[in-house]
Amino acid sequence: MFRFILFCLAIFIIDFYGYQFIKSSFDTIWSKILYILLSFSILGATFYIYSFGRQSVSIKTSNLITGIFVLVYLTKLTFAFVFFMDDIFRILKATFNFFNQKNNSFHLPERRKFVKQFALGLAAIPFTSLLYGMIRGKYNFKVLQYTLYFEDLPKAFDGYQLTQISDIHSGSFDDKKKIEYAIDLINKQHSDVILFTGDMVNLTASEMEPWKTTFGKLQAKDGIFSVLGNHDYGDYANWNSKEDKIKNFEQLKKIQKEMGFQLLLNENHFIEKNKEKIALIGVENWGHGFIKKGNLKKASENVQQDDFKIVLSHDPTHWQDKIVPDENHYHLTLSGHTHGMQMGIEIPGFIKWSPIKWRYKYWAGIYKEQNQYLNVNRGFGFLAYPGRVGVWPEITVITLKKGSKES
């Protein structure tokens, strides 16, 4: 409730300054009425969807309304920030004049024309970026390649290559050719194994039905393995009965099997090569504020202490809270979940930032703790905001090498 009040207060302040911009730049009654009507329409539609109507409208409609909300209000936020800083300056100047003038009248100076022009120019940056993200950025697939070194990697797996994808969110897709392009891009990596780390759908298994043939084209010599994410359990849909929810879950498992995905539900699978092996350990979802079905101990049954282990676990908080401190040594964990918030600034070697870092310590890319690695995939698809800005949809390719990087 407290967060909701803060959110409403923030929206009020943003809209107040947005109105100030309209009033000072286009001072007509119709511009003010149009601004108010548009603001209330966007807020009303967004509130309806996330309070009552997530299943009364299509996912694409829901995403579009969310996108418009993000586009409009992040742009307005720019106006609000500039005008707020200008108001501080105006108040300080008025206070100074109050104490230094004989009449002691407190009068705020008029807002400068330069400030309005600067705010308009600055606001064009988030507006054009977010619009680009909705039109082009959401399918701007990037292949990110990493080489990781392990002293105890079985010799037969030196140079072994895996491809990770995560967070498909198939219900959001609206361009079949772009998805087919991405599937071809994955296959062109010619990895030994493909690993999917959860969130195949947004709400229900039926979202994946139109995409079975497309994702069924994925190929890897040693197979395709998957785990579940928080969205895959059907917890965000309204069901007529418990049986319907169970049926949906079974349908999702069936779809994965039909596509050639081997789903690991707190289970493991050994890949063998020249009488040596590595263990794939698939853990069900475990995360803060989300469903906790993950059982690392159960998933690791029959896996020995000295086996080379790769864990598939959707939420990176599982790695920091359970996997790293575990008595067993898990060499590499693959996660997703964060999407990198689908927006941020990333310039390799210089800056890596997204607002999601305020919630997740590990949110994108490779991390290392206690000689154990984690890769957080930025996601294949998108959710809610139908776009990506700066944090592009990701196909991760990891090559395992025996030895140390220094050698």
Per-residue pLDDT tens over the stretch 130-185: 999 999 999 999 999 999 999 999 999 999 999 999 999 999 999 999 999 999 99
Would 407 be classed as within a structural domain? no
Would 22 be classed as within a structural domain? yes
Query: pTM value?
Result: 0.92
Residues 221, 288: one domain? yes
43 token code pair: 């807020």
Number of folded domains that form the chain: 2
Residues 51, 124: one domain? yes
Residues 12, 108: one domain? yes
Residues 126, 174: one domain? no
- Which residues form the domain of 206? 142-402
> Is 90 exceeded by the pLDDT of residue 387?
yes
Q: Domain with 270 in it: what CATH number?
A: 3.60.21.10
Are the CB atoms for 234 and 248 separated by under 8 Å? Answer: yes
Residues 149, 252: one domain? yes
Per-residue pLDDT tens over the stretch 218-263: 999 999 999 999 999 999 998 999 999 999 999 999 999 999 999 9
Choosing from 89, 105, 135, the residue where a domain stops is: 135
Would 117 be classed as within a structural domain? yes
Query: What is the overall mean pLDDT for the chain?
Result: 92
Residues 95, 226: one domain? no
Band (pLDDT 50/70/90 cuts) for residue 298 is very high
Choosing from 104, 135, 166, the residue where a domain stops is: 135
- Mean pLDDT (whole number) for 289-315: 96
Would 329 be classed as within a structural domain? yes
> Is 70 exceeded by the pLDDT of residue 196?
yes
Choosing from 135, 152, 185, the residue where a domain stops is: 135
Q: What's the pLDDT score for residue 310?
A: 98
Residues 49, 161: one domain? no
Residues 280, 350: one domain? yes
- Mean pLDDT (whole number) for 25-43: 82
Q: Closest Cα to residue 15, out of 41, 34, 33, 36?
A: 36
Residues 105, 152: one domain? no
Band (pLDDT 50/70/90 cuts) for residue 55 is low
- Mean pLDDT (whole number) for 94-110: 73
Residues 100, 213: one domain? no
For residue 75, report the phi and psi dihedrals to the nearest 5 degrees. -70, -45
Would 381 be classed as within a structural domain? yes
Band (pLDDT 50/70/90 cuts) for residue 15 is confident
